[in-house]
Amino acid sequence: MKLLTLNTHSWQEQYQLQKLAIVAQAIIDQDCDVIALQEVNQHHLSAVVNEQICGNHPVHSDNYGYLLQQKLAELGHDYQLTWDFVHQSYDVYQEGLAFLTRLPIIEHQVIDLSDHYDVSNWKHRRAVRIKVAYKQQELDFYNCHCGWWNDEQGSFADHLNRITATLSSRLSFLLGDFNNPSHLRDQGYDYALQRHLFDCYTMAKTKDTGITVVKNIDGWQQNNQLLRLDYIFSNQQVSVKQHQTIFNGDFYDVVSDHFGIITEISISSE
């Protein structure tokens, strides 16, 4: 099974449609089964799409996830799309989380990570869980875009606690932008491990540096380090064949202010 996660930074990128085409081609080339996308935006005034798309809010014609799904279809590959609204962003956008998968979706859940949810507050966040069928079993996938470790308006620990409270005994994967660097001890990354999550990077037989941010970006304006902020965690130890940074300029062109992560996992039939 191939999993991909990417913070798309849409529509804040130059040449966004060309970069979207690169993402679509990579999904096809790499034979991805489940793709988790963060910062999937649509303009609040653009036209509503009538197609039946799973989610908590109408999908618009310029929704990044929808356009990516349409590009994949144009290239002969069918992926089911979910898109869930998280909060307003950059004044004119509705920001959300999207899954694209070619596996049958059995269940879909939106998880509020903030009390008294206010969509106008950009620090209020949600996570999304889908349950899919795979090899005569059911698996859970979580799309996560969490807050910073010390943020008083929504700490990473609180966000992760709310997410992990919904975990079942099923094999589950948490994908996304976790906004907590792996090199800082006794903060978010260590906390995730304390919550009995397993980092697919450390379990991988073959891997690169895992770095996904190389400059100062939104939310990390003072950054001057190489950071590993994007992860694929599991709730069980699994066999990870490969963990690789993608869209980093070496393995596909850069398409966002984050690089993506692609991992190949061996999951046997029950």
Tokens matching residue 159: 């966000």
CA distance 209 to 245: 8
Q: Which amino acid is at 205?
A: K
User: 106 to each of 56, 117, 131, how far by Cα in Å?
Assistant: 16, 26, 5
N- to C-terminal Cα distance for the chain?
Answer: 15
Name which of 227, 266, 226 is nearest 243 in CA terms. Answer: 266
How many structural domains compose the chain?
1
Residue 53: count other Cβ atoms within 10 Å of its Cβ. 18
Q: Decide: helix, strand or coil at residue 26.
A: helix
Q: Do residues 263 and 226 touch, judged by C-beta distance below 8 A? A: no
pLDDT at position 56? 87
Mean pLDDT, consecutive 10-residue stretches, the chain (270 aa), reads: 97 96 98 98 94 89 98 98 95 96 97 92 94 96 96 92 97 97 96 98 97 77 82 98 97 97 89
State the pairing for strand pair 80-89/137-145: unpaired
pLDDT at position 130? 98
Residue 135: count other Cβ atoms within 10 Å of its Cβ. 12
User: 54 to each of 9, 106, 108, 187, how far by Cα in Å?
Assistant: 22, 11, 8, 34
Residue-level length of the chain: 270
pLDDT at position 215? 72
Tokens matching residue 160: 């992760």
Residue 157 CB-half CA count within 13 A: 9
CA distance 40 to 29: 22
Domain span at residue 137?
Answer: 2-266
Q: Verify cis geometry, omega within 30 degrees of 0, for the bond prior to 11.
A: yes
Q: Do residues 157 and 113 touch, judged by C-beta distance below 8 A? A: no
CA distance 25 to 212: 20
Domain of 194, CATH number, reads 3.60.10.10
pLDDT at position 153? 84
pLDDT at position 52? 78
Distance of CA 230 to the CA centre of its chain: 8
